[in-house]
Amino acid sequence: MGTTPERELARRLNSLPGAVPVLFSPGLLHPAQRLGGYLEAGERHLPELLGTEAPGLRAMLLSRGDWSAAPRENARPYPFGLPYFTRSVEPPTLVFPERLAQALAPEAPLTLPLTVWHEQAHAFFLRDETPKTPLWLGELVPQTASAAVARREGLPLGEHLASIEPARFTVREFGLPASAEDQMSFQNLLLGLGATMLGEFGEGFLGRLVGLLRREPEPVDGRRAERLLAEALGEGGREWLEAREEF
């Protein structure tokens, strides 16, 4: 850690070894152990799901008082309660708050592990050079990956999805800027779509999609993104996507 606040933070934090080491604020041992378990599951499943090696991560679990000193790309701290991935330090770091923001609805047992695997999948996805894509495709990859890990871990993903309020827009209609409520509705819409694709086409399409994106030499526009996703899904993929109201 380079800056003085970050060095002071490093001295304050406790450390928990594991597949992804977790640095945590004093008093957060039990939440750090739970986080470490979720991260270990991600390290176990994501390399096969995404077709890429683990990027060599660490994680931080921080109290509100320690949040402003966390490593980040921006000068100003991110809002407390919203986890993020940063490559501003070595090793790259997943930063989690001690309590997720209320915007990360629904408040349910699977919200935390799905959020952890989403951020972890971002780190895997960004390990190698990846072209710029439409927002929906860039977020579909980690949301589908998190759903796949939940399925592999035997968690009740269907119950979680059933508790989500329907979105007021489709995946491709959504754009920024948007309210926190609409942003989470968008993420939940992608989670549901990704889970449905896993059920219809199996897990293999996710690795195929990442591989196709890795080979793209230029930024991917909306139409190209649709074609790549349909190709990754395989036979009948394009027709299936065209029939999905949420897409």
- pLDDT, residue 162, reads 93
Q: What is the mean pLDDT of residues 85-98?
A: 94
Cα–Cα distance, 115 to 241 (Å, whole number): 25
Asked whether residue 78 carries a pLDDT value surpassing 90, the answer given is: no
Cα–Cα distance, 81 to 103 (Å, whole number): 9
Three-point CA angle 150, 109, 29, nearest 5°: 95
The whole-model pTM stands at: 0.95
Helices (H), the chain: 4-12, 29-50, 64-67, 111-125, 135-152, 157-162, 180-201, 204-214, 222-233, 237-243
Residues 212/204, Cβ–Cβ less than 8 Å: no
As a whole-number percent, the residues of the chain with pLDDT over 90 amount to: 84
Q: How confident is the model at residue 100 (pLDDT cuts 50, 70, 90)?
A: very high
Residues 171/163, Cβ–Cβ less than 8 Å: no
Q: What is the mean pLDDT of residues 203-214?
A: 97
